[in-house]
Structures are given as structure tokens and as C-alpha cells.
Amino acid sequence: MIAHIIAVGSELLTPYRQDTNSKEIARLLMDLGIKVGSITIVPDNDEEIARAVKSAMGRGQLVIITGGLGPTADDRTREGISKALKLDLEFNEEIHQWLKERFKQLNKKEPPDNLARMAFVPRGAEIIPNTVGAAPGLWIEVEGKDLRVLALPGPPAEWKPMMEAMRERLEALGRKDVERRVLRVAGLREAEVEERISPFITGVKNPSVTILASPEDVQLHIIAVSRDPEEARRLVEEMVEKFKEVLGDNIYSLEDEPLEKVVGDLLRARGKTLAVAESCSGGLLSHRITNIPGSSDYFLLGAVTYSNEAKVKVLGVNPQDLEEHGAVSQEVAAQMAEGVKKLAGSHFGIGITGIAGPGGGTPQKPVGLVYIALSWEGGTEVHRKRFWGTRLQIKTYSTTHALDMLRRRLI
């Protein structure tokens, strides 16, 4: 079963609007065991829509179209489908009545004439009611062919309930169970993760494994497909067990949770509190921690001490050490972590100081050099790291490493 996705809308071909529908529909189809053969974005034009539909027809069993079902003259999906499938547009009085009623309800005024355009539908099309907006969706099973066309309105709020309503029918087409898991890894680079797991994934198609890396983490997406749901689950479970063996506690989440959430849960479970002092990461660590609802349970204080004076005055960093070793040094990172911990009266303190770039680097202290310190009741440890990338990437790598240091101390 192969599906082709078509997004209709001239604005989607400009740099100003992104087609996000196709990606979301691809995800839904994957869950139903339906493979996506292509994604095409076409302008509001009968001929272009018809061409895309015809091209998809020869190569798949399902065509899903979003957009172009509204009432204006620019909305051409009905015409495009009609041309591609050679099905005349027929006026449907029932839809027209329903549209007029709905318009009056929603807008408290008489409906405009162009509403009638939405009541013209390709012969034999089944109507999918719109529970949010006006434009109905269309489901067409093409006679004599192993082919279905599903046309949906553009706004996600409108097409999502329609996809849900069609779920059983699409599921029957997929006839497969899909099990998916996302593991998240910290402390290893993408290449290191790949090297360790490659014996298990090379040449293996089911489950399939995708590695995705970002400055925030390395993610392993595992997808198993089977007609038997038990079997799909087992395939994923077995792969997870193998990954656990070679990646160990570098895996920080088996459930696709961000690092700041995992660390927050650990702090809460252990009844511990945290304060952080940032220089080069500039507040991003506090921002990530406080993106988690309920973080006020364990997060007490963040200090973004950008100036040396602030490091001395707020955190109690020794001015002589600043002078001798510079702000970007092991000594200052440690004193920042210890100072903010003491100031906040927290169990843990983190200190980050480095050079985020693009300027400010020297041969001795290049852009990307970052010292990260973790202080707890038993002591203080400092890591010296060299990161690569843009200013924002270096900020992100630094905060990820800091969170991961704390996670390892907590487990």
C-alpha cells in the first residue's frame, strides 16, 4: 500500500508559508502501516492539481490531498480531481443547505453566493462532514481501480477530525500494526552511537532504525511493522534490549522525553533542588529547565553572570582567580557552581563559562571552549569541553552537557 500526498496552495510555493500538513499526514500514515511514495506541492491551478493526481494514480493506491476546498475562486481542488478522474462535478443540494445553515449559525448573517461552490462535488464522492469549519472533505473510491482519493481542507483543525473519522478505513488498507519507540541518548556523539549499534541494524529492515542528531541529543527511532501487534512489540523490545547493552546509561530516556524533563523528574523524586550559574550559555540552561511545567518544585535560581563584576559580586567568585586564570577557566566554573549553590541554598549547583563565539576566541582559548562544573554536597567536578558550531549550537551543547552531568550524578 503506497500513498501519495499532494498539498495544494500557491502560498506554499513562496518562502512565507510552510507545508506542514504533508509531514503530519505522513506520520499518521506510517502509524497505519501505509508508506508514503511522494509529497508534491502544487499551486491553486486545475491543471497542476490534475497532473499531480494523475501522476500519483499510476504509482499508488491512495492519494491524499490537502487544501483548495474552500469557497473562493482560488480553491481548485474539486476541479483538479474532476479533471484527473474524469468525474463531472455535480451540485449537491443537501450539502448546500447544510453549508447555508452552518454559515448563518457561525456568522449570524446571510451566506454569500460563492458558498455554493463547495456543494459541487465529483460524481460518486462520499462527503466527510467538517466538524470545525465549513468545507466538506471528499472520499472517492475510483471504479474499476485499486485507488482511493481523499481530499481534505487545508487547516489542521479541520482535517484532523476528518482523518480520525477515516481512520478505520485507512487502517483496513494498511492492514499492519506498527510499533514505534524513540530512545534518547546523551554523552556520545552521533558517530559513536552509530558505531556501537551498527552490528544490530546493518541490513535489518524490520525493525528499521533511524539515528537523528542535534545539539540537544542523539535520538534512535525504532519502527517495527507486522500483521501481528504482539510481534511488532516484540521486535521493538528486542532491539531496545540490544541498544541498552551497548549504550548503557548513555540512554537517558526510553520514552522520548527531553533531558530537562528527565533530570527534573530525578530531582523531584530524590527531593533535591538546583541552582545554576551561566556565563556563555547566557540563560539557555535556565530557559530549558523552566520549559518543563512544575520545574518550580526543584529549580530555585538561575544567575546569568555575564560580567566579571557580577561573577564576583553575586556568586562570590575570587577576583584573583579571575585575574590569574581568566573568566573561562576551571577555577571560575567551579566557583560559579559552588557560589550559586550556596546563594540559593540548593543541593546542586551548576556553573558554565566559555566562549560561544563567533568573536572572542584566542589560540589558547578558542571559540567553543567551555568549562562546565557541577557542585553537590560531596564535592565539585569540572569538565573541559570543546564544542563546534554556531553561537546557538555552542550554547545548546553546553547546557546539554551540564544537564547530563547532573543526570549521571543523580542516577
User: Of 40 and 66, which has the nearer Cβ to a copy of itself?
Assistant: 40
User: Of 65 and 121, which has the nearer Cβ to a copy of itself?
Assistant: 65
345 binds a copy of itself (CB under 8 A): yes
For the window 197-226, what string marks contact with a copy of itself as x by the rule CB under 8 A?
-------------x-x--------x-----
Q: Which of 54, 77, 56 is nearest to 2 (CA)?
A: 56
Phi, psi of 327 (to 5 degrees): -65, -30
Which of 289, 317, 332, 334 touches a copy of itself by CB under 8 A?
289
User: Of 136 and 349, which has the nearer Cβ to a copy of itself?
Assistant: 349
343 binds a copy of itself (CB under 8 A): yes
11 binds a copy of itself (CB under 8 A): yes
Cell of 52: 499531480
Residues of span 82-141 touching a copy of itself by CB under 8 A: none
In DSSP terms, 209 is beta-bridged to 222
Cell of 212: 537523528
Euclidean distance between CA atoms 269 and 284, whole angstroms:
24
Which of 1, 132, 147, 310 touches a copy of itself by CB under 8 A?
310
Query: Which residues does 375 contact at the CB level (< 8 Å), separation at least 6?
Result: 334, 337, 338, 341, 348, 349, 350, 351
Contact call for residues 111 and 100 (beta carbons, < 8 A): yes
156 binds a copy of itself (CB under 8 A): no
Query: Which residues does 248 contact at the CB level (< 8 Å), separation at least 6?
Result: none
Euclidean distance between CA atoms 33 and 36, whole angstroms:
10
Residues of span 13-42 touching a copy of itself by CB under 8 A: 13-19, 23-24, 26-27, 30, 36-42
- Omega before residue 161 within 30° of 0, cis: no
Please report how close the Cβ of residue 32 comes to a copy of itself at its closest, in angstroms. 13
389 binds a copy of itself (CB under 8 A): no
CA distances from 139 to 28, 259, 324, 387, 391 (A): 17, 43, 74, 52, 49
330 binds a copy of itself (CB under 8 A): no
Cell of 306: 555575564
Please report how close the Cβ of residue 260 comes to a copy of itself at its closest, in angstroms. 11
Which of 144, 271, 359, 378 touches a copy of itself by CB under 8 A?
359
Backbone CA torsion sign across 161, 162, 163, 168: positive
User: Of 9 and 187, which has the nearer Cβ to a copy of itself?
Assistant: 9
Q: State which H helix or E strand residue 27 sits in.
A: helix 21-31
User: Of 121 and 260, which has the nearer Cβ to a copy of itself?
Assistant: 260
357 binds a copy of itself (CB under 8 A): yes
Phi, psi of 215 (to 5 degrees): -60, -15
Scanning 99-107, 232-240, 279-287, 318-326 for contacts with a copy of itself by CB under 8 A, the matching segment is 279-287
Scanning 99-107, 108-116, 152-160, 298-306 for contacts with a copy of itself by CB under 8 A, the matching segment is 298-306
Q: What is the DSSP letter of 113?
A: G
Cell of 331: 577555577
Applying CB under 8 A, what is the total number of residues that bind a copy of itself?
68
Q: Which residues bind a copy of itself (CB under 8 A)?
A: 11-19, 23-24, 26-27, 30, 36-43, 48, 51-52, 55, 59, 210, 212, 221, 275, 278, 282-287, 289-291, 293-296, 299-307, 309-310, 313-314, 343-345, 356-359, 391-392, 395
